[in-house]
Structure 1
């Protein structure tokens, strides 16, 4: 018989894990050092972006290009319109994507990447502000920028000190710092974030309202006060939502009758034929307004251990019905 030791404590040291820990330590130190080097150039970079009438064009070559693409995506999703342009392609036609109203954020660890520095005279001619992010404040790219963000590291996590590891991690973290500073300066909210992520779960939770999901019109289960219980049961079965609204003579919600009420009715009444829905319905019944967030409807259902809600307008008239299945299908849950 064999024993599964996959979750057992380590019996001996692992050179592989030791290597991983050294890598994480080096990169952690690189990120920590960034905070000490933030200066007025960071403020200037933020001011340039906040004053930008166009978009932030992020560029970089090789590994810096990969980081630049992620920074552009982060900026765009947090309230700062941005996109990535490959510097090699920019020199062969894509520079037309950059306008004087834009701001360029150029990444190069050395600050001497040929494809990136080749853009300098073209950007100067356009009058497009330039923010550089390099590991060398004295580099060509840094010296010609309107603001320079120092992402330098003392060494790479790679034991050969060659492969971009700590330097790309530092650049990525500095890009996140820039995006968050701009987010806070703009007063960007969770609802703003949701608008740019309508397909995600956060977008659904913050954008979908009860009225977007409720059943209405002929799909609204409803019987009048005084109806025989049999009519209420037929309405529940016909609509398939597990409950029916019970309305008074003015059409206002007087109560609800649910599957749970039926079980309680069977426990306490032997003969259902003589019962009217008024005798056994739940008063006044849980209800919700149509403009409430769907996520709030989830909370109300969970707190009250129910699976459906009547949706009423400001006068108390039922205008819809919402079931837990609708919330599940929408992705709110």
Structure 2
């Protein structure tokens, strides 16, 4: 075993930068090689009535698992099948309705080449990601996408680094082209990620988290200021809506409005003589119940407010929410 080399911080930074530049150049070169073969690969996957079955050995297999996951989450049903396990029964997971995406830098991995004749015998379309288009994998594939790189970022040109980056980038390019062709939307992505932050933002509606009924602070325009303050205190939203006899929103009064009122009037005005009509701010910001909760969050941030009223199509008050409601729902 070699004796350890003293750590050189400058050398570490140099190697890291060289790696990133080399891998970026490889991806850029890959982009320049895209042609009708890529379009054919997209077409095969668009026409697939089954699943995209991704397979690969070693580091290519790790990349393949990620590509399968990305495809599955962006509208293309996909799964990963390990080529070694395929030879021992897992090949039964592949059906004639599927498309196989095989990844191998050399294109001659023993475990992968062993199952290629069986895949072809089933009549399953085969797409190859390989650095050697004349390899066994390249010869068997219906569509060959060249993922070759000038060299690995590894100083010994051995460890899969630049080559796996190229594979991963091409997998992302394929997934993005497919999601665009399918008209896949952000809402569709959220439905496959309901437990994630994006899912909460794109699936949670205002109606899911707004306060309603007896928890909704509201008073009439003739309500005395003292009663208005009690309504705000009891309901705990830091504000109250002011509504007419039909429930239509006329204005809003908040804790902040009360502080500003006291600072402005001092002792010169008898606050007990004031009504909600006298102190409310007319035309407050409102949202609809069917709006996304994240839209309410954006509205609050844009106008530097901490609560918002929810109204129906006729402007009638049906709910309210504040920033705490949004945080509890993990929308913000």
Moved over 6 A (4+): none
On the 8 A contact 1:106/1:132 being kept in 2, the answer is yes
Query: Does residue 117 of structure 1 match 2:116?
Result: no
2:133 maps to what in 1? 137
Query: Does residue 227 of structure 1 match 2:223?
Result: yes
1:266 maps to what in 2? 262
Match of 1:70 among 66, 74, 84: 66
How many angstroms apart in 2 are the aligned matches of 1:293 and 1:23?
Answer: 42
> Which structure 1 residue ranges, 5 or more long, are not aligned?
1-11
> Which structure 2 residue ranges, 5 or more long, are not aligned?
1-7
2:3 maps to what in 1? none
Q: CA deviation at 1:84?
A: 1.1
- Aligned length in residues: 322
Query: Does residue 188 of structure 1 match 2:184?
Result: yes
1:155 maps to what in 2? 151
Query: Does residue 315 of structure 1 match 2:311?
Result: no
How many angstroms apart in 2 are the aligned matches of 1:26 and 1:304?
Answer: 46
Q: Deviations over 1:179-214 (max 9, x none)?
A: 122122222222222222233333333332211221
Select between 165-174 and 270-279 the one with higher mean Cα deviation. 270-279
How many angstroms apart in 2 are the aligned matches of 1:236 and 1:108?
Answer: 66
Q: CA deviation at 1:269?
A: 5.8
- Flag the 1:116–1:236 CA change in 2: closer, same or farther, 3 A: same
1:8 maps to what in 2? none
How many angstroms apart in 2 are the aligned matches of 1:45 and 1:266?
Answer: 70
Q: For 1:1-333, what aligned pairs fall within 5 Å after superposition?
A: 14-267=10-263, 268=265, 270=267, 271-333=270-332
Q: Deviations over 1:47-100 (max 9, x none)?
A: 100001111111111111011111111212222121111111122222222111
How many angstroms apart in 2 are the aligned matches of 1:305 and 1:154?
Answer: 53
* Secondary structure, aligned partner of 2:257: helix
- Flag the 1:269–1:226 CA change in 2: closer, same or farther, 3 A: farther
How many angstroms apart in 1 are the aligned matches of 2:9 and 2:318?
Answer: 66
Q: Normalised by the size of structure 2, how large is the TM-score?
A: 0.91
* Secondary structure, aligned partner of 1:118: helix
Select between 280-289 and 171-180 the one with higher mean Cα deviation. 280-289
* Secondary structure, aligned partner of 2:132: coil
* RMSD of aligned residue pairs (Cα, Å): 1.9
How many angstroms apart in 1 are the aligned matches of 2:227 and 2:285?
Answer: 21
Q: Normalised by the size of structure 1, how large is the TM-score?
A: 0.90
* Secondary structure, aligned partner of 1:156: coil
* Secondary structure, aligned partner of 1:245: strand
Select between 97-106 and 158-167 the one with higher mean Cα deviation. 158-167
* Secondary structure, aligned partner of 1:187: coil
